[in-house]
Copies of this chain bind each other. A is one copy, B any other.
């Protein structure tokens, strides 16, 4: 980690006071926010810079000039409201809120950290008006706020910033039609039209076509401007005042990565060979230093041009390296301070999934792989590049993806549907139900399942997916514990499974390589014992929680308590024979869940136990993720939920005492 420095609030106050030209002032303030967003993301190890930067001039214009919010106060009923529907751009918003004194330096430095700033917007942070991060809900929510303001006779407009890629979500069109029907002129949607979605052009992923024509066809007052030009933004917002019978849409043309030459579209896209590298994740040390210097230099040049002194930055304390965790980075599983912490491995079950899937696709002509703009994260880019004629990119449109898969399956193809678990199992739930009701076979890959990584926050952490799919009559929900089992379970899902399969996958690196017995094959409903013991059986699943369970067992063993640990890849199906044997051996079963304690494996085991004849049933204790998932590093989040190895050891020890 290089030396980091923050633009302190005092420097924002100076710029606001001393830069007389309004437009220049806004450009300088936006750049100062860019510098701080960059620093916060670098320190967090993760975050979305590309869209923070594309929306930065817009956010600066709104918060520093156009809206009354800072002036009236963040809780005033007549305040203007602005929030980002996409939410990925929140580092930039945080930087602006920090500049306005909404929270102190210390909190900005706790981006994606426990007790700090969530990786996606959460109203627990002052100045954040709506939770977002999962896409496409903002127009509807803004519509509700504007309707309420009108109903309650409150002043203030509602401005919703949406991404252009985000407009692929169908819910936007529900919100657009409803707001037009209600003639909600108090609602403005600003499209951050940067023409790139996660890492490829919107026109390639799923063309928006004539966006202005679409918005007009939905009955909105539509304007277009340069989203980096304060004067143009000012003119556009002024023009809205003359139309009061319709909601307003402003298509603000922007540049993803704006403000850092090598992050700017289209140059950055070319440099990446057609892939944009700066959508998510922190830059490396050299890139960070170059980017930060470029922004600060530009600010200083502008200040110098006005005869003002350069920025004075405040050094930022370094992070303890073991606390760093990120989606793209290296999550480290915590075992409780201050015990030594094992390094994570280079095993990614998601990568094993991608490789196994490509292999299966090449062998089986029936397989079609579907993606909703998460091809890199879901590790299906290999299929996209190698077998493009059986790869379908639906854009950010999970419901369409799932129902399209239903149509493919009705034609005898075997769809493998990919997205993050929190989006796929939830937003497309009824579509999955509908497909399942047709009795076709579809594989749903639920990426980024579970608590970790915890930096992106609750819009992304998936702790309900087993419960959301478990009641379907013909759906097996499974999760592999290592790379080898990932391949085996995917093959089972594609080749042998009787019906639909949802395969949960951790997205980060495995905290350890978990060894399975030689010649192991997953057998439906049966767990595999990793460590022997007699005091209790700890059952877990997936690489993250199974690692913590193993740590707990190791810790307990040091205290003379021998608990067995089993990995259970079958999350809603239990083999009665296995259960009968197991229940006869153990008086205590502890289920460690990478899921809410409701609707997960623990519930499935208890259901199955009711069908087993036993003299005395074992006690089943479920240790899951209670409440809302914590945002933070992996170590912080696991510890906060009492799910790190040390906490588990203590909890299990207390249970057995």
Contacts and interface: CB of A to CB of B under 8 A. Distances in A.
A218 B207 contact: no
A442 B359 CA distance: 47
B610 A408 contact: no
Interface string A387-426: 0011010110101111111111111110100000011001
Given A148-B407, A411-B145, A622-B607, A140 B400 contact: yes
Interface string A433-470: 11001110000000000000000001100011001101
A458 B439 CA distance: 13
A151 B409 CA distance: 13
Nearest to A617: B617
B219 A217 contact: no
B137 A431 contact: yes
Interface size class of A (residues with CB under 8 A): 35 or more
A621 B617 contact: no
A178 interface: yes
Given A140-B407, A174-B169, A429-B468, A213 B217 contact: yes
Nearest to A410: B145
Nearest to A403: B140
A598 interface: yes
Contacts of A234: none
Nearest to A626: B473
Interface string A212-244: 011011110000000000000000000000000
| Oligomer: number of copies | 2
Given A217-B214, A603-B607, A403 B141 contact: yes
B219 A438 contact: no
B434 A137 contact: yes
A173 B218 CA distance: 12
A529 interface: no
Contact of A394 (B178, B368, B415): B178
A379 B408 CA distance: 39
Contact of A620 (B180, B208, B459, B610): B610
A206 interface: yes
A65 interface: no
A206 B140 CA distance: 14
B598 A434 contact: no
Given A143-B404, A151-B389, A152-B412, 5 more contacts: A144-B404, A144-B408, A175-B403, A209-B219, A610-B622
Interface of A: 122-123, 129-132, 134, 136-138, 140-149, 151-152, 154, 168-175, 177-178, 180-181, 206-210, 213-214, 216-219, 368, 389-390, 392, 394-395, 397, 399-413, 415, 422-423, 426-427, 429-431, 433-434, 437-439, 458-459, 463-464, 467-468, 470-473, 572, 595-599, 602-604, 606-607, 610, 617, 619-622, 626-628
11 contacts: A130-B406, A130-B438, A140-B399, A140-B403, A143-B400, A145-B408, A177-B207, A177-B208, A426-B430, A437-B628, A572-B598
Closest 9 CB pairs of A and B: A144-B407, A170-B170, A140-B403, A174-B400, A148-B411, A174-B397, A144-B404, A426-B430, A145-B407
